[in-house]
Amino acid sequence: MSGLRKILIGIAGGTGSGKTLVSERVHRLLGSDQILVIEQDAYYHDLSHLPLEERGKHNFDHPDAFDRDLLVAHLTDLKNGKLVQQPQYDYSLHARQAETRTIHPQHIIILEGILILEDSRLRSLMDIKVYVDTDADIRLVRRIRRDVKERGRSVESVLDQYVRFVQPMHLQFVEPSKRYADIIIPEGGENLVAIDLLVTKIKSLLAERDAQ
């Protein structure tokens, strides 16, 4: 990887807002050979020291649920052209796997997560800050589908977690972080006009960097 400055794009928004689809569309438009996507969810704290039943009762939507120090350190290294060993998280066990994943820096780094705009250290690393804004009922339906299909959860447990933690934490931490966004994308990945504008801005930053 060349010594050119890496560009970090932060894509935030509530659970099920469409952050991943926005990332995928940007990825497709700019080319996979120069984009790296980092998910904040990979940086959940390891809960293997707790009984399995207790792990599921943890508040995963609070900022302290994430190893923010490690995420900041890894993003700093990636922006400086260094590879990192990223944790791999097992959502069914709420614990980190023994193996890590070797991540190589790319020209464009996309950081995706519900609380990435809440942390001032993460914001200071970002070149563009994006918030994906989607109605709560749509986000809940997407959350249920994802957690049941991909994370082995029951509908009842998803709804219980949503009422106890997800919705209150969204109102307390996620929604207020929208004020830090440079770009707000209503309806996520379906908003092709907003995504085109985002891609145009990224290309502009790349051109400015290459001209330096």
The CATH number for 169's domain is: 3.40.50.300
**2 domain-assigned:** no
Give me the number of domains the chain comprises. 1
d(CA 22, CA 185): 9
Residues 33-71: tens digit of each pLDDT: 789 999 999 999 999 999 988 887 889 999 999 999 999
d(CA 137, CA 154): 18
**212 domain-assigned:** no
Write down the pLDDT at residue 181.
Answer: 97
**54 domain-assigned:** yes
Residues 23-34: tens digit of each pLDDT: 999 988 988 778
pTM for the structure as a whole: 0.90
Write down the pLDDT at residue 150.
Answer: 80
Report the amino acid identity of residue 104.
H
**112 domain-assigned:** yes
Write down the pLDDT at residue 1.
Answer: 47
Write down the pLDDT at residue 177.
Answer: 97
Write down the pLDDT at residue 2.
Answer: 54
Domain that holds residue 54: 7-202
Query: From edge to edge, which strands make up the β-sheet containing 108-112?
Result: 35-39, 108-112, 7-13, 128-133, 183-186
Residues 139-196: tens digit of each pLDDT: 999 989 988 888 778 899 889 989 999 999 999 999 999 999 999 999 877 899 999 9
Write down the pLDDT at residue 159.
Answer: 92
Residues 121-153: tens digit of each pLDDT: 999 999 999 999 999 999 999 989 988 888 778
Strand extents, DSSP E, 104-200: 108-112, 128-133, 183-186
Average pLDDT over residues 105-121: 96
**209 domain-assigned:** no
**207 domain-assigned:** no
**32 domain-assigned:** yes
**171 domain-assigned:** yes
Using an 8 Å Cβ cutoff, are 55 and 47 in contact? Answer: yes
